[in-house]
Structure 1
Amino acid sequence: MAGRAVRRTRFAPSPTGFLHLGHAYAALVAARAADRGEFLLRIEDIDRDRCRPEYEAAILEDLAWLGLDWQRPVLRQSERMNAYRDALHRLAPLCYPCRCRRGDIRAALSAPQEGARHTADLAAGPDGLIYPGTCRHRDMADAAAGDVIRLDVARAFDALGTGDLRFRDEVVGPDRDQILTRDEFRDRIGDVILSRRGMGTSYHLAVVVDDAAQNITVVTRGRDLFDSTWIHVLLQRLLDLPTPLYHHHRLIRDHAGHRLAKRDDARAIRAFRKDGATPDDIRRAVGL
């Protein structure tokens, strides 16, 4: 492998349901993008209310049936809460506690002083409606048990001393940097949550910490997560972590053009297996 960086990838499902064709495609793309022996499996199980051991067992079984193999041991996010707490502590000077619920955010954005916008017209980011900053004045010392912790994006960019973020994507634009300015981040994404109620972390913080810990050099993910990648690049910069190469692949959709979700049990890999499908049938079904 002399002369180039090792391509080390991961597939990181949440055990909240059975894998479907979209998961199969994502796992196969990640495995194909890795050098031999550099494909990892990570179980993203920070949502303890929804994760189930039977779903994790099914994930391992379905991936093995597809012919995939991965390094051991498997990393489980539920076993890494100390690492996430340490990262959150480092970011605390740039954060604030927030008590707002989804209804509060929708009401604040729809209020007359915000322009009386119709709910359907409200801007949405990677995690829902873009937060209007209601609790931005609060200090971390005032954090209560029911609060989430948000990153103050303006303070974050000030801390970095930069006006934009950059990363390279080998699918979307392999010969040029993807660039997002500070103002674009504020308008498209806003103050993201770094610690959710009852979890002690969030998807965004955990995935950044774990990708660095596992030395992931190529992150493969669906194009629906493109804006989430900007959050991860910002956190990587703030935590002095490397920014990997990204590979935002196409999505697997149903006949109506909708992205597959775990609620689509009829398209679960296990259902195809029960009907006599082979791993090659699954590869053909997802265009591989």
Structure 2
Amino acid sequence: MQQISVIGSGTMGNGIAHVFAQYGFQVSLVDTDAGALERALVTIAGNLDRQSGAGVITGAAKQAILDRISPHASLGPGVREADLVVEAITENEAVKLRAFRQLDQLAPQHAILATNTSSISITHIAAATQRPDKVVGMHFMNPVPVMKLVEVIRGKATAGSTMQTVVALARQLEKVPVEVNDTPGFVANRVLMPMINEAIFALHEGVATAESIDTVMKLGMAHPMGPLQLADFIGLDVCLSILNVLHEGLGTPKYAPCPLLVDLVAAGKLGKKTGSGFYNY
């Protein structure tokens, strides 16, 4: 497996493209927004500069890595030679289903179709294709070049050979793959999002300030970042979307998103990417 197509050039997509290219794969980075593609390549170059400065890669390696990434503004040319497609677009089930119907038509028959979804059912996504045995979750953590974990999620129809291939690929990237069954939020977000939501409730109810809540979790629980700051970095809209998936999928009130989170998203305060959320940036 040599040719990788990454769909979506946002934070996760450009990180996934970066890592595959760093480990010798040819990567097609696909985004219909040409401006987003340009920004993604600038971001990747900047992240490679940081790796070079830290001695992780050499200066010569930086250009070789960039040369392995081909930007594409349309889906067809971007996936026609893919061995693996990794979708990393918005966390919205209807949008992902539409994308996978297109990918199923355009990608080679042998290609594995993976989704970087952090919460949406792999089984539902696979059902939109004619190759459900070749559909799998490949959930990277942010920032992708730094974080070691990859959740590899098996849908109801995912073949064992597909799982084995993706697990082996994750190891080639020097990641640690963890196999997970298909359930809302998988493991990472089923545990993380209720913690973030509870921190938001503590702020909403006046228990403490955002800074105090985050300090307690950093100094008391040895978390590198407090839950409210982490929510800002993830994106409050993404947190809300995942909590809604958990709430609807698992059917228990403990996953219901805090009203403060709902209000912040409605007001367009989505965290770091918009300049304000629980903190100002």
Name the TM tier (shorter chain).
0.3 to 0.5
Structure number having the greater helix percentage: 2
Q: Which has the higher contact order (CA 8 A, sep 6+)?
A: 1
Query: Which has the larger Rg?
Result: 1
> TM-score, normalised on structure 2?
0.33
> TM-score, normalised on structure 1?
0.32
